Amino acid sequence: MTAPIGLIGLGNMGEPIGQRILQAGYPLRVWNRTAAKAEALVQAGATLAQSPAEAVEPGGIVLTMVSDDAALDRVTHGENGLLAKLGEGGIHISHSTVAASRALAMETAHEAVGATYLCAPVFGRPPTILAGKLAIALSGDPAAKKRVRPVLEAVSGKIVDFGETPGAANVVKLSGNFLIASAIESISEACALAEKSGVDRRQFIDLMASTLFECPVYQIYGTGIADRRYEPFGFRLSLGHKDVNLVLGAAADADVPMPVASLVHDRLLSLMNRGHGDLDWTAVDIGVSEDAGLGEK
């Protein structure tokens, strides 16, 4: 029988990843800090673990999808962490959006117990995952990547290999999220200009998203901004702020000026300080509208 796959972190993205793994026929063990979030996967056939370590098969494959660097450290290290149990021959696939510098420390820690750490951050939303169209940026050891390829293909429609450098895929993910955040700011500013000039903002976005910018970012986030639809969140504004912080950290490490990232960071921080951190990050539009004298709609 195929050894169970471990999955740690069952939030907005982790739960549908688990559904895809089960649909592909793999046995699955799952753990989440809030056990109730595992209910749908357990009903679909997964086994609920009582700790990150218990979700792991020695020498097997474990996937993590957690919110930030601190959460990744907590589930990896310590008495109930996954790493000691994973051991020789094990592979840890990290889908989380974390600092690129985190990957080097993780790789070193995994090598110390004979395991391998792969960076595999994702691009997509829950419906994308369920449709099998998630995109994965991948970096790390070639042999480990070959071994886990069938598991990744169970949840992804596109896997792009960015080589062996630790953290390369994390840089790709952070750069992609920076582009989304920048687009959200730009769309919000353009909608404010349109509205103050007497132009219907939804009509404006419908034109842009079907012509010059016919792409998911403008079609999904653009319509949300045009309609001032900030709930329910697809991606929480506070997590967007975390990611832009990581972008600026990577830019500092690489000596790359990123003035637009600094602007977006300040926008997100301002909105968080005003209590909007749990809204979708399209709520950037709230700040832009207020700056334009349109008020918070």
Q: Which residue is it, tokens 């673990």?
A: 49
Residue where the block lists tokens 């949300």: 224
CB contact at 8 A, 114 and 87: yes
Whose CA is closest to 261, among 273, 271, 249?
249
User: Residue 130: CB partners within 8 Å, gap ≥ 6?
Assistant: 16, 19, 20
Residue 51, φ and ψ in degrees, nearest 5: -160, 165
Q: Which amino acid is at 176?
A: G
Cα 219 to Cα 246: distance, rounded to the nearest angstrom: 26
CA atoms within 13 A on the CB side of 30: 33
CB 82 within 8 A of CB 60: no
**Which one from 173, 196, 242, 297 is the annotated catalytic residue?**
173
Instruction: Tell me how far CA of residue 210 lies from CA of 128, 194, 228, 247, in angstroms.
Output: 20, 17, 19, 30
Contact 284, 188 (CB under 8 A): yes
Q: What is the DSSP letter of 46?
A: P
Query: Is 133 annotated in the active site?
Result: no
Catalytic residues: 173
